[in-house]
Amino acid sequence: MKKQFVLFVLAATFFGFAARAQDTIKTTGDAPLVLSGSVDTYWKTDFSGHANIPTSFANENNSVSIGMVDLGLKKSVGNASFVGELSFGPRGQQQSLPNADPGLVTFPGTSETGVGYSSYHIQNLYVSYNLTSKFNLTAGYMSTFIGYEVISPAANFNYSTSYLFTNGPFQNAGLKATYTFSDKVSLMAGIFNDYWNVYQSGGKVNTFGAQLTVTPVKNWTAYLNVATGPESGTEFDLTTNYQITSAFKLGLNAADFTAGEAYSYKGGFSGVALYPQVAVSKVVTLGIRGEYFDTKAGAYVTAGPPPGESVTGITFTANIKAGPLTFIPEIRFDNSSKSDMFVDGSGNYTSGATQFLLAAVYGF
Amino acid sequence: MKKFGILGLFCLLSVKFAFCQQDLLSFDEHNKYIFYQVVDMPGLTADSLHERGLHFLKTAYPKTVIKSAEGASVTGGGKFLTYGGVSVMRHEKGEIAYQFNIGLKDQKYRFWLTSFVFTPYQRDRYGNFVPETGVDIPLEEITDKLEKKEAEAYLDEAGAFCKQWGDKLKSYMTRAQEEKKEPAARKVVTDKW
């Protein structure tokens, strides 16, 4: 009996200290090692009976499919910090990463099969140092500074992605410097590898990138971006978000891309996407993504309509939160300028495609 | 045996206390959350309390923005981070901005923290937790905007922060400003022994 009391007292004391420790507000000192990330899964059906819309992720038809396990580590000590983010699963491997495992392949010139490639599964891997409170240097492999949408499903409102996202860079490896002039203006400029989305350059570090961040009024932030290089091509991008009321947010992404001059082929794309979102309760937010995407004439091929054509996409999405879990029902209608982009249920070319999906994303 | 029973009860109460830090907050006449205390400081003048109060703000909370330090009060604002999760999964969930007012008189001072506004954090594309632009929730409305469990956790953290802020202020007010003395380096003479 006495022993039980001792154990009880020890346990209660331990939990008491544990609870008190969590109430301590840390105002100074170095942050601990932090692990964060997400897990996502989805089911999609295209009304034609097979996958049609060529944008990134959520592309497996009539299948309860997986996105990825995303694990990010971050540690800061003084002015130095690092982020290492690994992802496992289709969304975080062959659908977004270089050198990824595409599954079983037949090796060229032989009848042998095997795993084609291996991948490091890296989404972010960089180190960062604050030279002053306003001036920061960062080097490594980083999520791109261009565009509205990202790979991580926890950071996107819509689960399917836009044509602008799919055809723009996902990651840039390089060295960048960011100077914060005031709480309303900052400027990033950097030099990046010659190609997007690769861990290693093709032999050159010759893509220039810059981002001007402005906050014209409270709750409105705009990012003016440029990335340009002979191999990577030139993309001008405007990404902006305005929380107009506590319930209503409006986002916009506009971009123009021209293929790199190092290649004989020409072409590119331009487009604009609008993201109005309204919170209708503390757990439900409704939103629309309206996108117009146009490809330039030339031989440059996009994940979208053929050169010289266009596509319009309207996506209705709801985010329903249950603690860290978000359910995302979404219906999407895409229409192309010519009847040669999608295929209907009978196998004939058509100009329209419609899909419904239900996704679940757990963020931690 | 009785001792163990008393100790067990004490520990249970400690646990209960640790989970109810939001009870430290009250409502003022405008129905806003407030943490208010009056503290007697016998033998100390308003001037010395003023000097120690400023030293506290600059030393204990150096990121505090002091709006006014004239006369018998010091006013300003600051913010603190709120955390969620456990162990290595514990990370910033948001920040709470607050306004403070320290009133000074001979032999006593009072202070209050109020106008708490919560801004949630979200993970950005680079893996950092950053404030969600344009989402500012007054603490009085937090239970309407967030789920109950989450809202109560932030209220607890606000209560805990206020208590910590007040306790630190008292410790600075109680002791005179100590000059930092570099500890003398220990030297060993090896040629004499």
Contacts of B81 by beta carbon, 8 Å cutoff, 6+ apart: A25, A26, B92, B94, B95
Least confident of A27-31, A201-205, A310-314: A27-31
CB contact under 8 A, B133 and A74: no
pTM of the model: 0.82
* Number of domains chain A contains: 1
* Region of poorest pLDDT, from A193-197, A235-239, B5-9, B43-47: B5-9
Structure confidence at residue B14 as a pLDDT band (50, 70, 90): very low
State how beta strands A122-130 and A113-115 pair.
unpaired
Segments forming the whole domain that contains residue A258? 2-363
Confidence of residue B133 (pLDDT cuts 50, 70, 90): confident
Q: Which two tokens stand for residue A179?
A: 């100077």
Looking at residue A116, its pLDDT comes to 59
Minimal-distance CA residue of chain B relative to A72: B127
Q: Which helix (H) or strand (E) holds B2?
A: helix B2-18
* pLDDT tens-place string over residues B56-69: 999 999 999 999 98
pLDDT-derived band at B11 (thresholds 50, 70, 90) equals very low
Which pLDDT belongs to residue A226? 98
Per-residue model confidence (pLDDT) at position A303? 93
Is residue B142 within 8 Å of B25, Cβ to Cβ?
Answer: no
Q: DSSP character for A23? A: H
Count CB-CB contacts under 10 A for residue A7.
10
Residue A192: φ, ψ to 5°: -125, 165
Other CB atoms closer than 10 Å to residue B98's CB: what's the count?
23
pLDDT over threshold 50, residue A354: yes
Cβ pair A304, A322 in contact under 8 A: no
Task: Tell me: ipTM over 0.90.
Answer: no
Q: Using DSSP, state whether B21 is helix, strand or coil.
A: helix
Q: Is the model more confident about B2 or about A215?
A: A215
Q: What is the DSSP-derived secondary structure letter of residue B148?
A: H
Chain A contacts of B96, Cβ < 8 Å?
none
What are the φ/ψ torsions at residue B139 (nearest 5 degrees)?
Answer: -60, -25
Report which secondary-structure segment, H or E, holds A82: strand A80-88
DSSP string computed for B70-106: -TTEEEEEEEEEEEESSGGG-EEEEEEEEEEEEEEET
Q: Is the pLDDT of residue B13 over 70?
A: no
User: DSSP label at B178?
Assistant: P
Encoded tokens for A282: 């503390």
Q: Which of A283-287, B44-48, B133-137 has the lowest mean pLDDT?
A: B133-137
Residues sharing a CB contact under 8 Å with residue A276, sequence separation 6 or more, in sequence order: A248, A249, A250, A251, A287, A288
Q: Which two tokens stand for residue B192?
A: 């004499």
Interchain pair B88, A219: CB under 8 A: no
Per DSSP, the residues of A173-228 read: EEEEEEEE-SSSEEEEEEEE-SSTT-SS-SS---EEEEEEEE-SSTTEEEEEEEEE
pLDDT above 60: residue B15? no
Following CA atoms A140, A255, A332, A251 in sequence, which dihedral angle do they give, to the nearest 10 degrees? 80
CB atoms A36 and B127 under 8 Å: yes
Distances (CA, A) of A345 to A49, A52, A340, A358: 6, 10, 14, 21
Check whether A13 has a pLDDT greater than 50: no
CATH number of the domain residue A357 falls in: 2.40.160.10
Report which of residues A218 and A119 the model is more confident about: A218
- Cβ–Cβ of B149/A243 closer than 8 Å? no
Measured CA to CA, the distance from residue A79 to residue A320 in angstroms comes to 38
Contact A321, A286 (CB under 8 A): no
Higher pLDDT, B148 or B85: B148
Q: What confidence score (pLDDT) does residue A129 get?
A: 98
Pick A150's closest partner by Cβ from B86, B125, B145. B125
What pLDDT shows up at residue A115?
60
Contact B88 A13 (CB under 8 A): no
Closest CB to A8 among B8, B15, B61: B8
User: B123-162 burial, b for 16+ CB within 10 Å, e for fewer?
Assistant: bebbbbbebbbbbbbebeebbebbeeebbbbbbbbbbbbb
pLDDT greater than 80 at residue A112: no
Q: What is the pLDDT of residue A106?
A: 64
Distance (Å, whole) CA B153 – CA A25: 13
Identify the closest residue of chain A to B9 by CA–CA distance.
A9
Residue A94 has pLDDT above 80, yes or no: no
Considering only residues A296 and A104, tell me which one the structure prediction assigns the higher pLDDT: A296
